[in-house]
Amino acid sequence: MLTLKLIGEETERVVKGLEKKHFPDARATIDKVLELDKTRREYQQKLDANKQKQNQLSKQIGALMKEGKRSEAEDVKNSVGTLKQVDKELQQSMEKAQNDMTALLLTIPNIASEQVPEGRDAADNVVVKEGGVKPKLPADALCHWDLCKKFNLVDFDLGVKITGAGFPIYIGKMARLQRALEAFFLDEARKSGYLEVQPPLVVNQASGLGTGQLPDKEGQMYHAELDDLYLIPTAEVPVTNIFRDEILDEQDLPIKRCAYSSCFRREAGSYGKDVRGLNRLHQFDKVELVRIDTPQHSYESLREMLEHVEGLCQKLELPYHILRLCGGDMSFTSALCYDFELWSAAQERWLEISSVSNFESYQANRLHCRYRRTADKKIELCHTLNGSALALPRVVATIVENNQTPEGIRVPEVLVPYCGFEMLDGNNF
């Protein structure tokens, strides 16, 4: 959530940042926020003045009673009673202005960083780096869904029977490869200084609000209505919320956490070739990186996270490119976001496998996540960052397609010690 200080002191930057994200009626919305804040402050001032007058009159009552002027004291008491009633009305008006302003602030996305390129959709994203070598496959090469069926690695139909589309069952060596990827990603995160945590897979409403998944305007979260709990779309939500309502010491920053979890997304509105096979699932596994940092160091943290994810792609021997997202393709909460995509050779298309984002103080303001500066003990909002490192399904899809041979699928060398075999083939034990 944008801070009132930022909106009030840097109004033009806020409006331009929102317009870059193509937020409709940016200026009118920001003007409305400022108007509601002014109204709230005016009611607060009237309330303070009213209470001050009550205190003055209350002192008069005691003095009048000592002088035996009971009738005059009663008149003053009645005046105090009237002022108390006015208090209630002022309090209600002030709270309404506050609630209306908060509700409006929750609908406003984070502003785009100055580094964000202009653009409306994915076609306007900017490729900032490429790496790896695209494999040359034979004419009869298969897409991963056919290869998984050929070697009995993933059963999509059985998942439909048990749950529905988007919930595949991994079999034998493929199940072991999933565990190998999880362990590899977590080990690499630990080597980079991330402390592993194992978070809950469901969160309450406050957690969803804190990281910006709620209000869920696109209906992407699974909601357990009886308990009012939400299945997590990413471990970012519970891990970042560890630091909700906390005041951290500057000397302890940056805080680095990683977590493996299952993720659940309704993917409402998804259809066509983009959802085939492992391309888009309702349940999938992912290792997530989360950082809590100071405003002065957060973009250095972002650079380090990008290097970490790039290193994973390189070690898996997968061709990749890195995109800086344009304003129109960014998430609601991010100030600057980079996507990593892997080249799927059989599908001849790029598949997104990671987003690495700096949210600056946007999430921290919702979370009340702050830090105490060492120099002057002043308390300020933290910056939060997160990134996938990595999401498994499309990594698996790319490995399967790019490394296919007539005998099976070659496992990247770095994963062999983790899974104990070099080929995904018909021998599934």
Instruction: Return the ∠ at Cα 329 (arms to 367 and 119), rounded to 5°.
Output: 125
Domain count, the chain: 2
Is 265 annotated to bind a ligand? Reply is yes
Residue 359 domain-assigned?
A: yes
Tell me what the pLDDT averaged over the chain comes to.
95
Instruction: Return the ∠ at Cα 178 (arms to 172 and 179), rounded to 5°.
Output: 95
Identify whether residues 134 and 227 lie together within a single domain.
yes
**Between the CA of residue 75 and those of 49, 64, 89, what are the distances in Å?**
20, 11, 22
* Residue spans of beta strands (DSSP E) within 158-237: 169-170, 195-196, 202-203, 223-224, 229-231
Q: What is the DSSP letter of 132?
A: S
Residue 112 domain-assigned?
A: no
Average of per-residue pLDDT across 185-194: 98
The single residue listed with the structure tokens 């009030």 is: 8
Burial 322-347 (b: 16+ CB within 10 A, else e): bbbbbbbbbebbbbbbbbbbbbbbbb
Identify whether residues 99 and 184 lie together within a single domain.
no
Helix-, strand-, coil-residue percentages of the chain, each rounded to 5: 45, 20, 35
Identify whether residues 145 and 86 lie together within a single domain.
no
Least confident piece of the model among 74-83, 208-217, 392-401:
74-83
In this prediction, residue 73 carries a pLDDT of 76
Alpha-helical (H) ranges within 212-297 are 236-241
Residue 382 domain-assigned?
A: yes
Task: Return the closest-CA partner of residue 318 out of 230, 215, 223, 397.
Answer: 397
CATH code of residue 351 = 3.30.930.10
Is 344 annotated to bind a ligand? Reply is no
Is 379 annotated to bind a ligand? Reply is no
Identify whether residues 364 and 262 lie together within a single domain.
yes
In this prediction, residue 270 carries a pLDDT of 61
Residue 115 domain-assigned?
A: no
Identify whether residues 135 and 87 lie together within a single domain.
no
CATH code of residue 40 = 1.10.287
The single residue listed with the structure tokens 């695209």 is: 134
Interval 4-31: pLDDT, tens: 999 999 999 999 999 999 999 999 999 9
In this prediction, residue 75 carries a pLDDT of 78
Cα 312 → chain centroid: 21
Contact partners, residue 127, CB within 8 Å, separation at least 6? 321, 322, 323
Identify whether residues 99 and 145 lie together within a single domain.
no
Interval 66-122: pLDDT, tens: 777 778 877 777 887 888 888 889 999 999 999 999 999 999 999 999 999 999 999
Q: Rounded to whole angstroms, how far apart are CA atoms 305 and 234?
A: 17
Q: Rounded to whole angstroms, how far apart are CA atoms 254 and 293?
A: 4
Structural domain of residue 50, as residue ranges?
4-105
User: Which pair of tokens denotes residue 118?
Assistant: 């202009």
Identify whether residues 154 and 56 lie together within a single domain.
no
Least confident piece of the model among 210-219, 345-354, 375-384:
210-219
Identify whether residues 213 and 75 lie together within a single domain.
no
Average of per-residue pLDDT across 142-155: 96
Contact partners, residue 38, CB within 8 Å, separation at least 6? none
Identify whether residues 130 and 41 lie together within a single domain.
no
Q: Rounded to whole angstroms, how far apart are CA atoms 262 and 279?
A: 16
Residue 180 domain-assigned?
A: yes
Q: For residue 59, what pLDDT band results from cuts at 50, 70 and 90?
A: confident
Is 357 annotated to bind a ligand? Reply is no
In this prediction, residue 175 carries a pLDDT of 97
Is 244 annotated to bind a ligand? Reply is no
Instruction: Return the ∠ at Cα 96 (arms to 90 and 100), rounded to 5°.
Output: 150
In this prediction, residue 269 carries a pLDDT of 59
Identify whether residues 156 and 282 lie together within a single domain.
yes
Q: For residue 306, what pLDDT band results from cuts at 50, 70 and 90?
A: very high
Is pLDDT above 70 for 205?
yes
Amino acid identity of residue 309, one-letter, is V
Interval 259-287: pLDDT, tens: 999 999 998 756 655 789 999 999 999 99
Task: Return the closest-CA partner of residue 333 out of 211, 223, 159, 150.
Answer: 211
In this prediction, residue 355 carries a pLDDT of 98
Is 113 annotated to bind a ligand? Reply is no
Amino acid identity of residue 27, one-letter, is R
In this prediction, residue 83 carries a pLDDT of 82
Choose one of 48, 76, 105: the last residue of a domain: 105
Identify whether residues 41 and 149 lie together within a single domain.
no
Residue 114 domain-assigned?
A: no
Q: Rounded to whole angstroms, how far apart are CA atoms 248 and 256?
A: 13
Contact partners, residue 115, CB within 8 Å, separation at least 6? 324, 336
In this prediction, residue 315 carries a pLDDT of 98
**Between the CA of residue 383 and those of 125, 248, 277, 312, what are the distances in Å?**
24, 12, 37, 25
Residue 113 domain-assigned?
A: no
Identify whether residues 297 and 367 lie together within a single domain.
yes
Residue 116 domain-assigned?
A: no
Choose one of 70, 105, 140: the last residue of a domain: 105
User: What proportion of the chain, given as a percentage, has pLDDT over 90?
Assistant: 86
Choose one of 105, 140, 164: the last residue of a domain: 105
Is 7 annotated to bind a ligand? Reply is no
In this prediction, residue 51 carries a pLDDT of 85
Is 288 annotated to bind a ligand? Reply is yes
Burial 212-245 (b: 16+ CB within 10 A, else e): bbbeeeeeebbbeeeeebbbbbbbbbbbbbbbbe
Interval 110-133: pLDDT, tens: 999 999 999 999 999 999 999 999
